[in-house]
C-alpha cells in the first residue's frame, strides 16, 4: 500500500502522522536531524508549557491577524483537547496561577517517549537524517546516509518548521523548493525574540536579573510578563509578547508601576524628602530598588525633579534598543506559507495532495502555550484532511 508521507519530525509532524495512522494508512515520517522533536525537547528544558487553560475566545486573540483563519482549526483542538491528549499519553498535568499548563515532571522527554511509543504501535515509521531536496516527477527526493532516496506517497504533510533555531532543524531552506513550484510565501521575520540593548557599564551588576511587576508597551501591544536583563539586551515572555511591534520599529516603553496610577505616584513623590537623595527618596516612597531602579537610571537620567514629570517617566520609561535579536536566535518566526496559498484543509492550491502545518505557515503567537497549541492543532487538522484525501483515492501527480 502506498504510504502517507510526513516531512518534519517536530510536534506538528508527529501529530499529523498520528492522525494518518489512525485512519489506517501506512505512514513514514522523515526528519533531517539525527532525532525527532529537538526544538520541542529544548523548549521543555525550562518546563514544557503545553497550552494556556483559558476560555476559547480569549485564547484565540493570541493569534492576532491569523485568528479568523485559525479559528476552526483551534476550536477543533483547543486547550482542553491538548490537555486530554497529554493525559491519554500518561502525563500528569498541572495549571499554574497564570493558566499555563505543564506536565507535572516539568520535562518534555517523558511525553515524547510515550508519544513515540504510541506512534510506533500504530506502525508509524520514522527515518532520521533524511533531508528533503526536491522532487523527481511525483516522487519526493531525500539526501540520506545511504544516498538519494525516493518516496512517491499517496499524500504528503509538510511540517518543516519556520526559520529560527537552525541547529535544531528549523532552517527555512524548504522555502525555495516551494517557491519554485508557485507557492506564495511571506518573508520570514523573527517572532518571540528578545531585543538588543547596548548597556552601559552601570548595568553590569544586574545581568541575569529578572524585571518583575512591570508592563511593557509597544504600539498597540502590551504585556505584564517578566523579562530578564541579559548581556545583549532583554529576554523573556514580557518582551516576546510585544516583539511583533518592535520588529516594525515601534518604540518600546516600560511601566515600572503598572498597579499604581500616575496621580498616586505623583502624590507619593511630592512628599518632602528632606536631605535624602533622589534615589533614596524613590526607594523610600516607592520601594524602587534593584533591577527596576537600575533600568530607570539607565534610560531616565537625568531624572526630572518635578514629581509629576518623574511620575510620568516611571509610567512610560523609554527603552532604547537596537531592534529584535537575529532571526536564528528567535524562538519562532512570522512568515512562511501564505494563507492564500492554502485551501481550508491546509492543502496547497498549487500542489494538490500536499498539506502544510505548524510554524511553516504564516502565523505567529506569543509563548505561554499558544505556539505549541497552534502546532498541535494545525498538525492534527492537516493530518485528518490528508487522510480523507488519500482515502478518496484522488490522484494528482506532480508536474
Full pLDDT tens readout for the chain, 399 residues: 689 999 999 999 999 999 999 999 999 999 999 999 999 998 878 789 999 999 999 999 999 999 999 999 999 999 999 999 999 999 999 999 999 999 999 999 999 999 999 999 999 999 999 999 999 999 999 999 999 999 999 999 999 999 998 888 889 999 999 999 999 999 999 999 999 999 999 999 999 999 999 999 999 999 998 999 999 999 999 999 999 999 989 999 999 999 999 999 999 999 998 888 999 999 999 999 999 999 999 999 999 999 999 999 999 999 999 999 999 899 999 999 999 999 999 999 999 999 999 999 999 998 889 999 999 999 999 999 999 999 997 544 333
Q: What is the pLDDT of residue 165?
A: 84
Strands 93-95 and 100-103: what pairing? antiparallel
Q: Are residues 40 and 134 in the same domain?
A: yes
Helix axes 262-269, 307-315, angle to 10 degrees: 140
Q: Are residues 200 and 265 in the same domain?
A: yes
Strands 227-230 and 210-211: what pairing? antiparallel
102-111 per-residue burial string, b: 16 or more CB within 10 A, e: under 16: bbeeebbebb
Under 8 Å between Cβ of 324 and 232: no
Residue 173 domain-assigned? yes
Residue 397 domain-assigned? no
DSSP letters for 67-99: HHHHHHHHHHS-HHHHHHHHHHTT--EEE-TTS
Q: Are residues 22 and 153 in the same domain?
A: yes
Which residue, 264, 285, 318, sits at the end of a domain? 318
Number of domains in the chain: 2
Residue 266 domain-assigned? yes
85-95 per-residue burial string, b: 16 or more CB within 10 A, e: under 16: bbeeeebebee
Q: Are residues 297 and 363 in the same domain?
A: no
Q: Are residues 121 and 237 in the same domain?
A: no
Which residue, 260, 289, 318, sits at the end of a domain? 318
Q: Which residue has the cell 493525559?
A: 87
Cis peptide before 302 (omega within 30 of 0): yes
The number of C-alpha atoms within 13 Å of 372 and in the hemisphere containing its C-beta is 27
Q: Are residues 249 and 180 in the same domain?
A: no
Burial (Cβ within 10 Å: 0-12, 13-18, ≥19) of residue 211: buried
Question: CB-based contacts of 58: which residues, under 8 Å, 6+ apart?
Answer: none
Residue 13 domain-assigned? yes
Residue 300 domain-assigned? yes
Q: What is the pLDDT of residue 46?
A: 77
Q: What is the pLDDT of residue 396?
A: 41
Q: What is the pLDDT of residue 395?
A: 42
Q: What is the pLDDT of residue 151?
A: 96
Sheet with 221-223, side-by-side order of all strands? 221-223, 215-218, 253-255, 317-318
Residues listed for the chain: 399
pTM of the entire structure?
Answer: 0.92
Q: What is the pLDDT of residue 168?
A: 87
DSSP letters for 307-371: HHHHHHHHHSEE-----BPPGGGSSEEEEEE-GGGB-TTSBBTTSTTEEE-GGGBS----TTTHH
Tell me the β-bridge partners of 308.
none
- In angstroms, rounded to a whole number, what is the distance separating the alpha carbons of residues 94 and 369? 13
∠ CA 361-382-191, nearest 5°, is 20
CATH of the domain at 107: 3.50.50.60
* Residue 237 domain boundaries: 195-318
Residue 124 domain-assigned? yes
Q: Are residues 152 and 290 in the same domain?
A: no
Q: Are residues 72 and 163 in the same domain?
A: yes
Q: Are residues 218 and 99 in the same domain?
A: no
Q: Residue 63: name the closest of 255, 326, 332 by CA.
A: 332
Q: Which residue has the cell 504501535?
A: 121
Residue 277 domain-assigned? yes
Report how far Cα 200 is from the mean position of its chain's Cα atoms: 31
Q: Are residues 186 and 199 in the same domain?
A: no
Q: Are residues 160 and 85 in the same domain?
A: yes
Question: CB-based contacts of 353: which residues, under 8 Å, 6+ apart?
Answer: 155, 156, 347, 389, 394, 396
Report how far Cα 70 is from the mean position of its chain's Cα atoms: 15
Residue 323 domain-assigned? no
Q: What is the pLDDT of residue 398?
A: 36
DSSP at 2: P
Q: Are residues 278 and 382 in the same domain?
A: no
Tell me the β-bridge partners of 356.
158
Q: What is the pLDDT of residue 1?
A: 65
Amino acid at each position: 500500500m502506498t504510504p502517507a508521507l510526513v516531512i518534519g519530525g517536530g510536534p506538528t509532524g508527529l501529530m499529523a502522522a498520528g492522525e494518518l495512522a489512525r485512519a489506517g494508512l501506512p505512514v513514514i515520517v522523515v526528519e533531517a536531524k539525527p532525532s525527532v522533536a529537538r526544538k520541542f525537547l529544548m523548549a521543555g528544558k525550562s518546563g514544557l508549557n503545553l497550552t494556556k487553560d483559558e476560555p476559547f475566545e480569549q485564547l484565540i486573540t493570541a493569534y492576532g491577524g491569523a485568528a479568523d483563519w485559525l479559528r476552526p482549526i483551534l476550536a477543533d483542538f483547543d486547550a482542553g483537547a491538548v490537555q486530554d491528549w497529554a493525559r491519554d499519553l500518561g502525563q500528569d498535568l498541572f495549571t499554574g496561577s497564570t493558566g499555563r499548563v505543564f506536565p507535572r515532571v516539568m520535562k518534555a522527554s517523558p511525553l515524547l517517549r510515550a508519544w513515540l511509543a504510541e506512534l510506533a504501535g500504530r506502525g508509524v515509521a520514522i527515518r532520521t537524517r533524511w533531508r528533503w531536496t526536491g522532487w523527481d516527477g511525483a516522487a519526493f527526493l531525500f539526501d540520506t546516509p545511504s544516498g538519494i532516496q525516493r518516496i512517491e506517497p499517496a499524500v504528503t504533510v509538510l511540517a518543516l518548521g519556520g526559520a529560527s533555531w537552525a541547529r535544531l532543524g528549523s532552517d527555512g531552506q524548504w522555502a525555495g523548493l516551494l517557491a519554485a513550484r508557485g507557492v506564495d510565501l511571506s518573508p520570514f521575520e523573527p517572532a518571540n525574540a528578545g531585543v538588543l540593548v547596548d548597556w552601559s557599564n552601570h548595568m553590569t551588576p544586574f545581568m541575569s536579573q529578572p524585571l518583575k511587576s512591570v508592563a511593557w508597551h509597544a504600539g498597540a501591544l502590551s504585556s505584564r510578563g517578566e523579562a530578564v536583563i541579559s548581556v545583549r539586551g532583554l529576554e523573556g515572555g514580557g518582551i516576546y509578547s510585544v516583539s511583533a511591534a518592535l520588529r516594525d520599529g515601534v518604540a518600546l516603553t516600560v511601566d515600572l508601576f503598572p498597579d499604581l496610577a500616575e496621580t498616586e505616584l505623583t502624590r507619593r513623590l511630592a512628599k518632602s524628602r528632606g536631605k535624602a537623595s533622589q534615589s533614596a527618596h524613590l526607594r523610600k516612597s516607592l520601594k524602587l530598588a534593584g533591577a527596576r531602579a537600575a533600568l530607570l537610571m539607565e534610560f531616565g537620567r537625568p531624572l526630572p525633579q518635578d514629581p509629576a514629570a518623574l511620575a510620568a517617566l516611571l509610567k512610560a520609561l523609554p527603552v532604547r534598543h537596537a531592534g529584535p535579536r537575529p532571526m536564528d536566535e528567535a524562538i519562532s518566526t512570522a512568515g512562511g506559507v501564505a494563507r492564500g496559498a492554502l485551501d481550508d484543509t491546509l492543502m496547497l492550491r498549487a500542489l494538490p495532495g500536499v498539506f502544510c502545518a505548524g510554524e511553516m505557515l504564516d502565523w505567529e503567537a506569543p509563548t505561554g502555550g499558544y505556539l505549541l497549541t497552534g502546532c498541535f492543532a494545525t498538525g492534527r487538522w492537516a493530518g485528518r484532511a490528508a487522510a480523507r484525501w488519500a482515502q478518496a483515492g484522488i490522484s494528482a501527480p506532480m508536474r
